[in-house]
Amino acid sequence: MKLQIAHPVYMKFVLPAVLLLFSLAFFTAWLSDRGRRFLVSCGACFLLIGLAMLVQLGNFPADDRLNTVLSAAFYVGGTLVGGYGILQRSGLRLTSAFYILSFALIVGGVWYFCYVESNLLARVYVLNLGMATLILSFAWRARRLFKGPLVDKLLLVMLVLVALQLVPRTLLTARSLLGEVDGENFAATVFWQWTVFSTAIAAVLTGFALLAAAGHDRIGELSHERDSDPLTGLLNRRGLEMRYNALSHTKRGASGWVAVCDIDYFKALNDDYGHAAGDAVLQEFAGILRKLLGERSLIARTGGEEFVICLHDMQADNVLELMEGVRRNIETHRFQRLSDETSVTCSIGCVRLQEQGDLWQAVDKADKVLYAAKKDGRNRTYVEAAGLSRAP
């Protein structure tokens, strides 16, 4: 009994099937995480390029010129929508004119060399070199990814490699298409065999890189949720410790200042206006801290109405001026959920954080300085050791 082996004709559909499977994977991932819309674009990219290969290999439609233009439209459309998805993930964009003109020029060029001046080599060059140019354009627009985490660097490198492999592959193998080439023997040409080989590698690596990027983004979001205060969006206690430890490790020990800030008579505000108004006050208070202290400072809500702030190193009088500016801003701010007659104030205690110092020991010391400010009448800014204080 002879062993039956599948006819090689079916093997030519393996790569389109792989592309369609990746497309299905991206769409499935999006269904489980609707907020990650770039996955739809990535799925559409693999779907369109897979369809382009099916059109060519299945010789449908049978008219060679129509087949060529249709497959080119799928290839270019897939490239454009894939690039759009990668930029979308990074919050970047290109103008609509770029997408429209790119599609029109490349597909229009293929159409011209099909219907006006029949030239197979010209069609191959226009399509493949045009796609390489598109991918490099997306890579250039997304170049800031190289400054991001490892997964972003890998994604950018993959884009560049996919674009660059199109150039020598096309220049070195396109002449194998000279002569009588139709849908029946197209798959046997050197050009197509190299196309399948290089596209298979590029598709698999790019597909996994994009899925890894989506996974990295999701893990980052979960970490952010874990380390953030849900009400104010500031760091929570764990997030502050993690960020401080990371900063200390990067700078081999970070000296600076720790300030503990507490809203005066917050319980009375809650009693008079209700917890919803109290929450609104906390949110506005956090917004003022973010606005005045900027991104260089670590700001956390560590419980109730208490906030901990890690400041970079500076002179003691500069710390006093900075935090006194916060206190005055809070005092003059009119909070939306409170009456105009109600004034919110805060008390602040600041201590120096020595290099390699323990963060929470410094917080405890700052808390004692804060207690002294409250004991002396609240609505004050005190700085330990320097003998500095400021009150209205």
Question: How far is residue 89's CA from residue 164's CA, in Å, rounded to a whole number?
Answer: 23
Residue-range definition of the domain harbouring residue 303: 237-390
Tell me, yes or no, whether 3 lies in a domain: no
139-165: pLDDT as tens digits? 999 999 999 889 999 999 999 999 998
Q: Quick one: 177 and 34 in the same domain?
A: yes
Same domain membership, residue 187 and residue 43:
yes
Sign of CA dihedral 332, 333, 336, 337: negative
**Do residues 289 and 217 share a domain?**
no
Question: Quick one: 334 and 219 in the same domain?
Answer: no
What CA–CA distance (Å, rounded) separates 138 from 225? 31
In a domain, 232, yes or no: no
Q: Using one digit for the tens of pLDDT, what is the confidence trace for 279-316?
A: 999 999 999 999 999 878 899 999 899 999 999 888 88
| Same domain for 185 and 282 | no
Q: In this structure, is residue 1 part of a structural domain?
A: no
Q: Do 196 and 252 have their domain in common?
A: no
Number of domains in the chain: 2
pLDDT digit of tens for each residue in the chain (392 aa)? 333 434 455 667 888 888 999 999 999 999 988 888 999 999 999 999 999 989 988 888 888 899 999 999 999 999 999 999 999 999 999 999 999 999 999 999 999 999 999 988 899 899 999 999 999 999 999 999 999 889 999 999 999 999 998 888 777 766 665 655 555 555 566 666 777 777 778 888 888 989 999 988 888 888 888 999 999 999 999 999 998 888 877 665 567 899 999 999 999 999 999 999 999 999 999 999 999 998 788 999 998 999 999 998 888 889 999 999 999 999 999 999 899 888 999 999 999 988 767 899 999 999 999 999 999 999 999 998 655 555 56
Instruction: Look at residue 218 in the predicted model and tell me its pLDDT.
Output: 87
Within its chain, how far is the Cα of 365 from the centroid?
A: 39
Q: What is the 3-state secondary structure (H, E, C) of the chain?
A: CCCCCCCHHHHHHHHHHHHHHHHHHHHHHHHHCCCCCHHHHHHHHHHHHHHHHHHHHHCCCCCHHHHHHHHHHHHHHHHHHHHHHHHHHCCCCCCHHHHHHHHHHHHHHHHHHHHHCCCHHHHHHHHHHHHHHHHHHHHHHCHHHHHCCHHHHHHHHHHHHHHHHHHHHHHHHHHHHCCCCCCCCHHHCHHHHHHHHHHHHHHHHHHHHHHHHHHHHHHHHHHHHHHECCCCCCECHHHHHHHHHHHHHHCCCCCEEEEEEEECCHHHHHHHHCHHHHHHHHHHHHHHHHHHHCCCCEEEEEECCEEEEEEECCCHHHHHHHHHHHHHHHHHCCCCCCCCCCCCCEEEEEEEECCCCCHHHHHHHHHHHHHHHHHCCCCCEEECCCCEEECC
In this structure, the answer to whether residues 247 and 169 fall within a common structural domain is no
The reply to whether 48 and 124 lie within a common domain is yes
Whether residue 367 sits in one domain with residue 297: yes
Round to whole Å and give the CA distance between 76 and 45: 9
CATH number of the domain where residue 271 is located: 3.30.70.270
- CA dist 5 and 228 (Å) reads 59
Residues 16 and 65 in one domain: yes
- Kindly report the backbone phi and psi dihedral angles of residue 203, in degrees, each rounded to the nearest multiple of 5, phi listed first: -65, -45
Would you say residue 294 lies in a domain? yes
> d(Cα 362, Cα 368) in Å, to the nearest integer?
10
Strand duo 381-383 + 346-353: pairing: parallel
pLDDT score, position 296: 80
Asked whether residue 65 is assigned to any structural domain, the reply reads: yes
Q: What is the CA radius of gyration of the chain?
A: 31
| Boundary-marking domain end, from 227, 253, 270 | 227
Of 227, 249, 274, the residue at which a domain comes to its end is 227
Which CATH number does the domain housing residue 154 bear? 1.20.1070
Do 340 and 386 reside in the same domain of the chain?
A: yes
224-231 long-range contacts (CB < 8 A, ≥24 apart) are 229/300, 229/301, 231/279, 231/282, 231/283, 231/301
Final residue in a domain of this structure, among 181, 205, 227: 227
